[in-house]
A and B are shown apart, each in its own frame.
Chain A
Amino acid sequence: MAVVELSTPATEEQIRALKVGDTVEITGLLYTGRDAVHHRLHNGEKPPVDLNGMIIYHCGPVMVEENGGYVCKAAGPTTSIREEPYQWEVMRDHGIRGVIGKGGMGPKTLAACQEYGCCYFHAIGGAAQVCADRIEKVLGVDWMDLGSPEAIWHLQVVKFPVIVTMDSHGGSLHKEVQESSADVLNSFM
């Protein structure tokens, strides 16, 4: 399996080159952002960081305070579909180049990936140690008033392992599997 190396901030050209099924390792800065962050952005609050070219990670990590800083104890992806009402807007308004999560997203996000040049990267759900192992450093945190799992954590990652499951050309592995599995299971009913 060939691995594509990707750094953040990413360019539209780099993202457009990716296709469903590509294995990618991401190096650079990631910002976590899940339910409460997306809700705030949707309500028009200005993000505390520049999201241009960045990738948002749907993740609520386990963080422990040690020696005046934070150490990440676990950091796998959370289910992305809950951000389906908001994600397209964040892609449109904030110049992000993609999101990392699990379970895939729906037609609004897929259309936005195509229109604005973004990808959906799938991390392995539940694999919180493999993911945390690739986080070199916790560089900071914003919106801590949302509570630790919902805050925006700034994560310095090296070779963070993901698979492209929705690309900027309208391809979605989730749509394919949903349709084929529905055919099979409905035939059993």
Chain B
Amino acid sequence: MSTSTAVSLQASLLELIRKTSSDLPKDVVNAVQAAKSTEEDGSNAAYALDVISCNVDMARDASQPICQDTGTIIFNVHTPVGYDQIIFEETAIEAVKEATEKGYLRQNSVDSVTGKNSGNNIGPGSPIFHFHQWRKDYVDVRLMLKGGGCENVGAQFSLPHPKLGGRDMKGVENAILEAVLLAQGKGCGPGILGVCIGGDRASGYSFSKEQLLRTLDDTNKDEELGALEERIMEKANKSGIGPMGFGGNNTLLGCKVGKQNRVPASFYVSISYMCWAFRRQGVTLDAEGAINEWLY
């Protein structure tokens, strides 16, 4: 990679971070608007959604973080064969440092033993990179900033389970509903679920987060999983947990389910909860590292 390409790449990644932190993707904005119309006037739920809506506009207009917890920084990157992923990673780290100085990101990387904050979001495991090669000739970068409040309420269940049931779709459905019940207002609702049926403990959680890269208005290619998504939405929204756990009709804005093969002995259901402040943006880059297209 030439020096000028690296400079351009850093500028593109800084812009991706700025937009991800401050500008909620269109599909999520639409879902928040739709939710607003279904809450009773004057209710706490309607109040919460009004404040959320106002906050979304203010963050976009001021280029400031939608939420102060700018979260775990997760890059999902597809690159052509032969692309230098090491330079990409080094450049992204510089972009993260710059974004932290500018206040697009909070100082969010803490040594787990000493408690010392690195001050620039860089440290072991931060940021996170998931690289994939593909046969296409361009780079696709998707960034998620996942806040701690919503990450804390993720859950993984092993079936069979005494309360949730066996290794079938009913057991899976119950596991997801149990996660909704446990999350209550702690992950800022209305939330969005990414779910993986199967995999091992690590790949299950990882794939559940990958589901969150789908737009809220897409349709699952797998009919059975699509039907499960619909059932979860219907039942969770009848729970009355509502926005922020204040009570109301909107507990979830979306549910996206995928599956991975498992070994015969294991059956995990892994659930990643994303808050309404669903910070996800993506770009494709041209050969010079400039932004070609925004993906959400």
Contact = CB atoms under 8 A, between A and B. Distances in A.
A60 B275 contact: no
A60 B55 contact: no
Interface string A57-78: 0011110100000000111101
Nearest to B118: A147
Contacts of B160: none
Interface stretch (A7-15, A92-100, A110-118, A171-179): A171-179
A61 B52 contact: no
B42 interface: yes
Nearest to B275: A126
Contact of B64 (A73, A78, A81, A125): A73
A161 interface: yes
B25 interface: no
B64 A180 contact: no
A12 to B, nearest CB: 25
Interface residues of B, number: 59
Contacts of A74: 64-68, 103, 106
A177 B242 contact: yes
Interface in A134-189: 146-150, 161, 163, 165, 173-174, 176-178, 180-182, 184-186, 188-189
Given A73-B65, A78-B149, A188-B235, A163 B246 contact: yes
A185 B244 contact: no
Contact of B52 (A81, A127, A133, A146): A127
A125 B188 contact: yes
A103 interface: yes
B115 A148 contact: no
Given A102-B149, A128-B67, A149-B117, A181 B48 contact: no
A122 B51 CA distance: 13
A188 B110 CA distance: 41
B185 interface: yes
A76 B66 CA distance: 9
Contact of A104 (B67, B177, B185, B239): B185
A124 B58 contact: no
A119 to B, nearest CB: 15
Contacts of B242: 177
A65 B32 CA distance: 33
Closest 6 CB pairs of A and B: A147-B117, A125-B188, A126-B277, A74-B68, A129-B58, A127-B55
15 contacts: A74-B67, A76-B68, A102-B244, A104-B185, A126-B276, A128-B59, A173-B44, A173-B246, A176-B247, A177-B242, A177-B246, A181-B181, A185-B235, A186-B181, A189-B163
Given A102-B186, A128-B65, 9 more contacts: A61-B106, A73-B65, A74-B106, A126-B66, A126-B147, A149-B108, A177-B242, A181-B181, A181-B241
